[in-house]
Amino acid sequence: NAGVTQTPKFRVLKTGQSMTLLCAQDMNHEYMYWYRQDPGMGLRLIHYSVGEGTTAKGEVPDGYNVSRLKKQNFLLGLESAAPSQTSVYFCASRDLRDRGYTFGSGTRLTVV
């Protein structure tokens, strides 16, 4: 009964380094999302996917790339990390029937 699993849970990067955050869900959900959460700003949508092989931009996509090669996985990449990308990142998924989102436990990323 795993739900949505995110790895890693914590990471410290130096400016300019790259990394990939992995999100995996075992509920056969079609839709998957990446959000970032910053103090006072709530959850902001970075990228999302409506099915395997598809991706689309959200409201804050700059500096991030995503891929959905398999239905159960949604990867978020930072090609050249910047201090402004210090945040808590949440992955979420939902099915086609517009039920509630299921969130992963989050990744706390610090860029120094």
Partner 1 sequence: QQPVQSPQAVILREGEDAVINCSSSKALYSVHWYRQKHGEAPVFLMILLKGGEQKGHDKISASFNEKKQQSSLYLTASQLSYSGTYFCGTGNTGNQFYFGTGTSLTVIP
Paired tokens of 7: 């790895």
- How many beta carbons lie within 10 A of that of residue 53, not counting itself? 11
Residue 98 interacting with partner 1 (CB under 8 A): yes
To the nearest whole angstrom, how small is the minimum distance from the Cβ of residue 41 to partner 1?
6
Helices (H) and strands (E) in the chain, counts: 0, 11
Site membership for partner 1, residue 27 (CB under 8 A): no
For partner 1, the binding residue among 2, 14, 42, 62 (CB under 8 A) is 42
- Tell me the C-alpha distance between 110 and 49, whole Å: 25
Q: Assess 52 for contact with partner 1 (CB under 8 A).
A: no
d(CA 60, CA 10): 21
Find the binder of partner 1 among 52, 58, 72, 73 (CB under 8 A).
Answer: 58
Kindly list the residues in this chain that would bind partner 1 in the complex (CB under 8 A). 31, 33, 35, 40-45, 48, 50, 56, 58-59, 90, 98-106
